Structure 1
Amino acid sequence: MAKNYAYIRISDAHKQHSHGQRTRITQYAAKHGFYIYKWYEYTLSGSSTNKTQRGLIELIERLAPGDRVLVNDIERLGRDSISDIMEVTTRIINAGAEIHFCLTGDTLTPSHKNDVGQFFIQIGRAFAAQDFSKQRSLKAKAAANSRKANNLPTGRARGAIIKSKLDASENQILFWLSQDVFKSEIARRLNCSATALIKWLDRRDELICQARERRLYESGLSIGEVKRRLKGKG
């Protein structure tokens, strides 16, 4: 049976965290019905380490025809060495496995090794998407620095009342909690991090307390309605 392997790499644990990559891969796998057989996760520079140190050789040697390798983006397979990246991608598809770039949804399959043009088109698209993501991040940072230089707010106001995607799942979350389902399991079912779920629950309690203090709360109100009432009353 074909196996699905997820590969995560960050360069510096002090400046980055792997949650974003893990979440995107998890969501991609869930969307396509892929069960992750094994996760590979490394905190290593892509430019100052070799393929063995980054766990890529071990991963490649495990692969069998039909297997899939899920990565967030092409730079997880390397960074500064194009030849390294090309070698890794070629060895994966030569093993009969597929590479899924979860950031863009692009896929390299064994069929691409017989079509050089399509192979390079897919590689080019993966690099272009990663470059676009970098440029967007740089623009966002530049805009934030500009606002800061002009003494303007650079982010969401502390304590702001905002809509959360978890609001719509409030009743389901409360039911699962009443059935003693672990928060980590609830987070998995909702495709979010346990930290995000805990923060949402804490914020929900805070807002309900605020609504009670202002005499805006009635039993059975949804958190969405609580937020609307608090916003409406300032």
Structure 2
Amino acid sequence: MAKNYAYLRISDAHKQDTTGQRDRITRYAASHGLFIYKWYEYNLSGSQTNKTKRGLIDLIERLAPGDRVLVNDIERLGRDSISDIMEVLTRIINAGAEIHFCMNGDTLTPSHKNDVGQFFIQIGRAFAAQDFSKQRSLKAKAAAARRQAQNLPAGRATGAIIKSKLDERENQILFWLSQDVFKNEIARRLNVSSTALIKWLDRRDELICQARERGLYENGLSLIEIKKRLKGKII
């Protein structure tokens, strides 16, 4: 009987978690009537590790004809080299298995074995993701260098009051917490990492304390209003 394997990978467990990937793969599997037989989950850099360390070889060696591999996107397979990604895709197909990219719905099956176009479409996406990451890093370094040359702080000032997309979901978050919904489940519902949610909650407590100390706090005040008052924008 064919088996379905799910593969998840993040680069840094301190800054990310696999909640978003797991949720998207779970929803994809449910919509296609697929039961996940085994989950492979790794917290490893895609550019600083090889396919063996990322568990891909172990997964490939388990595959039998008809099996399926579900991943969020092709970038999960790694960033170390395009040739390695090509090898992983080829070995999955040669094993008679399918690979499903749950983010965009693309699928490579044994019928694509000689379909060079489909392979290059996927490799093109991997290259684009790799290039985007490099360009973003270069831009960040260039911006930091410019600020340093102007004797400005290289990054965001400590304690800066900034807008968060979670601010508008404050009431919903507080309601779920009052109903004893676990934070990781709330994060999943909001499509953010658990780390991001916890940091937002901690920062919310800090800002409420600051507002109280400065005599700016009133019962029932939303976090959005608290931030405005702390920034001197009372409306």
Given the two structures, how large is their TM-score scaled by the length of structure 2?
0.76
| Structure 2, gaps ≥5 residues long | none
Q: Residues of 1 paired with 2:115 and 2:151: CA distance?
A: 54
Q: Which amino acid aligns with 1:212?
A: R
Query: What is the aligned-residue identity percentage?
Result: 58
Aligned residue pairs total 225
Task: From the superposition, tell whether residues 175 and 101 of structure 1 become closer, same or farther in structure 2 (CA, over 3 Å).
Answer: closer
Say if 2:17 and 2:194, in contact at 8 Å, map to a contact too.
no
> Partner residue of 1:68?
69
Quote the residue 1:29 is aligned against. Answer: 25
Following TM superposition, by how much is the alpha carbon of 1:128 offset from its aligned partner in structure 2, in angstroms?
A: 2.6
SS at match of 2:101: strand
Name 1:112's counterpart in structure 2: 112
TM-score, structure 1 as length reference: 0.76
Cα distance in 1, alignment partners of residues 180 and 131 from structure 2: 44
Deviation at 1:75, TM superposition (A): 7.4
After superposition, where does 1:23-172 map in structure 2 within 5 Å? 25-26=21-22, 28-29=24-25, 32=28, 37-41=38-42, 43=44, 49=50, 51-63=51-63, 65=66, 67-70=68-71, 73-74=74-75, 76-77=77-78, 79-80=80-81, 82=83, 84-94=84-94, 95-100=96-101, 105=104, 107-110=106-109, 111-172=111-172
Kindly indicate whether structure 1 or structure 2 has the higher relative contact order, using CA contacts under 8 Å at least 6 residues apart.
2
Aligned to 1:224: 224
Answer whether contact 2:10 2:76 (CA < 8 A) is retained.
Answer: no
* Residues 144, 154 of structure 2: 8 Å contact kept: yes
Shift of 1:28: 4.1
Task: Report deviation, 1:230.
Answer: 2.0
Q: Which residue matches 1:13?
A: none
Give the counterpart letter for 1:5 in structure 2: A
Gaps of 5+ in 1: 11-15
Listed one character per residue, the Cα deviations across residues 155-194 of structure 1 (whole Å, up to 9, x for unaligned) are: 2221111111211221122122222333233223323233
CA contact (8 A) 1:73 1:130 kept: no
